[in-house]
Chains A and B, each alone.
Chain A
Amino acid sequence: KAGVTQTPRYLIKTRGQQVTLSCSPISGHRSVSWYQQTPGQGLQFLFEYFSETQRNKGNFPGRFSGRQFSNSRSEMNVSTLELGDSALYLCASSQGQKNTEAFFGQGTRLTVV
């Protein structure tokens, strides 16, 4: 079974630009969650999508948004990039229930200059 695939692996963007990151979950998984990892704040939850609907959202500004397609693939978008958005963005795929584990992709390393 193929794992969670995130593209691209690395990105360098300029302040003020926008960026779109992609995540393909494990086949059969309907839940996709996104997390931001930084040295200062650690791992923080961004949002979760299940069957194309956002079910849960973390405490991030509206510049961070996402969506999920009918094949469960998900994208997240960050507009008007700031230097502080530099981070590793991780996507997690699961069946979306309490006791099921989440499987993570390798992440997209975003650097804002």
Chain B
Amino acid sequence: GNSVTQMEGPVTLSEEAFLTINCTYTATGYPSLFWYVQYPGEGLQLLLKATKADDKGSNKGFEATYRKETTSFHLEKGSVQVSDSAVYFCALSDRSGDSSYKLIFGSGTRLLVRP
């Protein structure tokens, strides 16, 4: 079945450092890909998405490019802030039947940014 693999955390960075969180996927067809972020005690917030190969999603300084040839969707940010400390989830949309879609999530990567 379809699956998502994320790098193990936690990732600890100093403020203004460059961030990369690796995400690879296994899927039949061409799923949409997403990054969600979860702050302590909260639900998931959509960070960015890409719907087809070579699409780049971006939001709040975060970027990720849908790479079909390497089945990857790595999250990057040029300069992290303390407020970016959270858990980040990579996900794909998995089709079931004629029209239903569900999200398949990676295990999450905790990011801790120190001042």
Contacts and interface: CB of A to CB of B under 8 A. Distances in A.
Contacts of A104: 36, 43-45
Interface string A19-39: 000000000000001010000
Interface residues of A, number: 25
B89 A98 contact: no
Contacts of A55: 96-97, 99-100
A56 B97 contact: yes
A50 B101 CA distance: 11
A103 interface: yes
Contacts of A103: 46
Contacts, number: 64
A101 B101 CA distance: 11
Contact of B102 (A4, A48, A90, A107): A48
B43 A106 contact: yes
Nearest to B96: A56
B34 A106 contact: no
A42 B43 contact: no
Given A42-B108, A43-B89, A90-B44, A102 B103 contact: yes
B103 A99 contact: no
A97 B99 CA distance: 7
Nearest to B6: A42
Interface of B: 32, 34, 36, 42-46, 49, 51, 89, 93, 95-97, 99-108
